[in-house]
Chains A and B, each alone.
Chain A
Amino acid sequence: MRYVLRKLGFYLLAAWVALTVNFFLPQLIPGNPVDDLLTKMSQAGPVPVGEQQVLTRLLGLGSGNIFQRYWQYVDGVAHLRLGLSISNFPTPVSAEIGSAIYWTLVLVGTATVISFVLGIALGTLAGWKRGSRLEAIIPSTTLLTAMPYFWLALILVFVFATNVWHIFPAGQGYNTNSFINVGWNFTFIGSAIQHAILPALTIVISSVGGWLLGMRNMMVSTLSDDYVVAAEAKGLRPRRIMIGYAARNAVLPSISGFAISLGFVVSGAIAMEYVFSYPGIGFQLVTAVGNDDFPLMQGIFLVITFAVLGANLIVDLLHGFVDPRTRLSR
């Protein structure tokens, strides 16, 4: 129990630090939302003198010094009030994030699971049959992992969407050019899946190599362990040794890595979402930064931070139970 409390205390502190950084970091970006809005307005005709004050008031900005605003912010977060978005004023930030997060959770979540399962399965095989031709997939997948994310996405778009074959759509979450009711109907889900394939492929291709390599290396070291030798000596079937003895132990480190990467799912894959104009959190974050939309930026950072912290906390706690060595000595 003491272990749990200590962990919780630590995470509380980490959350506060993250919260504070969340607040101050965006403020360091040059420019401010009112000036941006005015510049945009001035491109559709001259802006009347005095417009700046009107907008500042309308957006409810500029009240109090930075510490007062910091206090308002902390108070708001404590009451789960994230404020109003500026780039989509007066839509609340929570509604903005709510509209984007499901796209990211479903797409990036599914892709992460697929990538993990695929990586572990291939890694198990590669580790089991070390020295065989199967090992060739290791350098090729790590090469794909090393390739910049957005570049891979662009190549996929080039080949499968715009220039070589017109198989998949080049962007967006679903076919937005026809009347599709967003909801549980086949037209929408079909369209959403079709639009998700290339983005998901990007994630899987670029992350499978990491899981594969880690799993394969753990397999190799596990296979030389005594209990595997013992299992072989008992005359168990190779398949059973591979899965039940070696892989089961080798997968442990990957599982905790997986839990953490699930936390990062929330942040989406910014480059991927940007290239595909996918209506998720990552794309929203880029737009928010481009518009100096501080409340939205803070809201998104907050959600990401808490998701990652939460995932870490769960892994930490689970480790405490699974592996007694990580608990306190007393």
Chain B
Amino acid sequence: MSSRPWRARMIGTPAAIAAAMLLAACGSSGGTTAGSGSSSPSASSNSSSSLLTITTGAAGTFQDDFNPYSPNVEDPTNGMIYETLFFYDTAKAGVVDPWLGTSYAWSDGGKTLTVQLRHGVKWTDGKPFTSADVAYTFNLALKNAALNKFALPLKSVTTSGPYTVAINFKQSAYTDAYYALGRVDILPQHIWQSVKDPTTFLNSHPVGTGAFELSKFSGQVFTLTANPHYYMPGLPHFKTIRFLAFSGNTTSDAAIESGEVDWAGSFIPNIKQTYLAKNPKFVVSDIPLSTAFLVPNLVSGPTSKLAVRQAISAAVNRTSISNTVYNGYAPPTNPEALITPNYNSVLDPALASAAFGSPSAAKAKSILTRAGIKTPLNLTVDMVNGYTDYLSDLQIMVQELKPAGINLTIDQPAYTQFTSIQDTGKFQLLMDNFGYTPTPWSYYYSILDSTITKPIGQVDTVGNFGRYKNPEVDTLLSQIADTTSASVQNPDFYKIENIFTKDLPLIPLFEQQDEIEFNGNAVANYPSVTNPYGAPAVYIQPDMGWIAARLVPAK
């Protein structure tokens, strides 16, 4: 399964939209032929050296929308067409590569961020890129709150010369660096200043600085071609990129399995046989980017008792679930729920080899008995309807928890209803995943900080849905946020990790499976666990654009 952000994909995400499921239910014996009737000439793309075919899965149809402020923007906008000042490697915390910026420095206690810009960059229409464009972009967010995509506490933006920009914040903003430097797309002032309403502008003919430019668009397929004047020498290697839309996982999986697609992020059931066995050069790149959790309600109900959470954690056999459901591609995580090796830089050395004990129902039961909790204990877990892999996981857990005296019932509300249950905290347990950020602070903050939560019944859209409240953790998190010095931050991270292990505010299960398929017959130099120069997940921007420029056609 793979979670990815937008529109139809959201229903279709982790597993398959119901339609696709119905189809899959109908026949999973999947032949090698593509789902479409007429065989497509594009199958020859494998031999053509300069065409890269990508699918982001069940996207329905593409909308001609390349406005980076739009919540439904097409994926290549951020990273392929427009670029950020720096590249934060989502797959390796602490790696920040220069992009449109070359260096940055904090001053005034984290209230001023001064960025030096790259020289000699041109927009694809030939105009030079300067500090005026950067200032314009941040001023858009400053003047129109609706365009302040990452809710930055901006105060003012000043330029000095064509290659230096200073961004001033209302408060210390160290933790916003990732958003300001690594997520805000820099736009061309000479084009956007004449746009009447940037919020509803479709931007069908985007002019960016990126390695690729849009060439042809239709609802089912669109192509980007290499920017011939790209400023990074030798990049990009591929001359053409093609995006394909599929309406369901069945058709997209068929195209991936036939080798027609070179780069995809679809959940393929039984991937070893249905994909890897088809061709010796088919590759699955699986870099852990997020963690799957059971999120317990910590305010009310049985799950607010530590013993219940410990019992569940002790009884669940993570390894067997990983092997059964994910072909071993989602190994058990660690008791401190730290995403490794991504966040290794902040891992407490004392916890380096920490692991969950061997699963035991008897042990779980004794934990409950010792705490004086009556069994059988009835619990309900919510998961999004249609996330078939989560359903399989939970069905196994139901069996594993029964001998421990816990009767688990699975509820599968529809997506929008799940959202409401999660946000209002009206659940006992729910299954979800968190991560996909290059900053470990942001990860722990979004699952543990109590300042972002609201009381049960009120909508909390940011995180910490179980409403964990520990003043010590809040203090540690704000201490980490107040500095950029790793030597100050790391001891605080170690403390949080140890508190997590003890308190079990969420029950960590396994590394969220992020199976990304690469067709090695067409593509080389893709990111992997040993070479994580970017997060290869097709739904993570701007990593996708960074990687696309660096992929090499296979010989």
Contact = CB atoms under 8 A, between A and B. Distances in A.
B23 interface: yes
Output the residue of B4, B37, B219 with the most chain A CB within 10 A.
Answer: B37
A90 B199 contact: yes
Interface stretch (A39-47, A137-145, A211-219): A39-47
Given A30-B417, A177-B260, A44 B23 contact: no
Contacts of A326: none
B462 A172 contact: no
A176 B246 contact: yes
A5 B43 CA distance: 62
A104 B70 CA distance: 28
A45 B436 contact: yes
Given A46-B434, A274-B19, A84 B419 contact: no
B3 A57 contact: no
B417 A46 contact: no
Given A31-B417, A175-B38, 9 more contacts: A39-B418, A40-B10, A44-B5, A45-B435, A46-B442, A46-B462, A49-B462, A91-B202, A171-B19
B40 interface: yes
A171 B445 CA distance: 43
Contacts of A49: 151, 452, 462
Shortest Cβ-Cβ A-B pairs, 7 listed: A50-B151, A277-B247, A176-B220, A43-B3, A46-B446, A57-B146, A169-B37
A158 B27 CA distance: 7
Contacts of A43: 3-5, 10, 13, 433, 436
B463 A46 contact: yes
Contact of A178 (B42, B67, B179, B414): B42
A52 B461 contact: yes
B63 interface: yes
Interface string A214-230: 00000000000000000
B6 A40 contact: yes
B247 to A, nearest CB: 3
Given A43-B433, A47-B462, A177 B255 contact: yes
A89 B72 contact: yes
Interface stretch (B28-36, B326-334, B499-507): B28-36
Contact of B36 (A42, A45, A99, A177): A177
Given A178-B40, A195-B37, A54 B146 contact: yes
A38 B461 contact: yes
B461 A291 contact: no
Given A157-B23, A175-B40, A290 B11 contact: yes
B5 A41 contact: yes
A87 B6 CA distance: 8
Given A171-B35, A179-B221, A55 B71 contact: yes
A210 B13 CA distance: 39
A291 B35 contact: no
A261 interface: no
Interface string A49-61: 1111111011110
Nearest to A274: B19
Contacts of B417: 30-31
Contact residue range for chain A? 35 or more
A191 B40 CA distance: 12
Contact of A58 (B31, B90, B146, B246): B146
Interface secondary structure of B, over-half rule: loop
20 contacts: A30-B420, A34-B461, A36-B415, A43-B3, A44-B4, A45-B437, A46-B434, A49-B452, A54-B145, A54-B148, A89-B72, A90-B65, A169-B36, A169-B38, A171-B251, A177-B34, A177-B221, A177-B260, A178-B38, A287-B7
A181 B216 CA distance: 11
B70 A89 contact: yes
A44 B251 contact: no
Contacts of A31: 416-417, 419-420
Interface of A: 29-31, 34-55, 57-60, 84, 87-91, 99, 150, 154, 157-158, 161-163, 166-172, 175-179, 181-182, 191, 194-195, 274-275, 277, 279, 287, 290-292
Interface string B234-247: 00000000001111
B443 A46 contact: yes
A290 B415 contact: yes
Contacts of A191: 37-38
B202 A44 contact: no
Interface in B215-258: 218-221, 244-248, 250-251, 255
A88 B65 contact: yes
A30 B423 CA distance: 12
B398 interface: no
Given A35-B459, A46-B434, A191-B38, A58 B147 contact: yes
A277 B248 contact: yes
Output the residue of A84, A168, A171 with the most chain B CB within 10 A.
Answer: A171
A90 B199 CA distance: 8
A270 B25 CA distance: 19
A205 B381 CA distance: 42
B250 A171 contact: yes
Contacts of A194: 37-38
A38 B6 CA distance: 10
Contacts of B410: none
Interface in B351-379: none
Nearest to A195: B37
B8 interface: yes
Contacts of A89: 70-72, 200
Contact of A275 (B19, B199, B416): B19
B416 A36 contact: yes
B107 interface: no
Contact of B29 (A52, A99, A163): A163
A37 B417 CA distance: 13
Interface in B54-104: 60-61, 63, 65, 67, 69-72, 90
A52 to B, nearest CB: 5
B225 to A, nearest CB: 14
A157 B10 contact: no
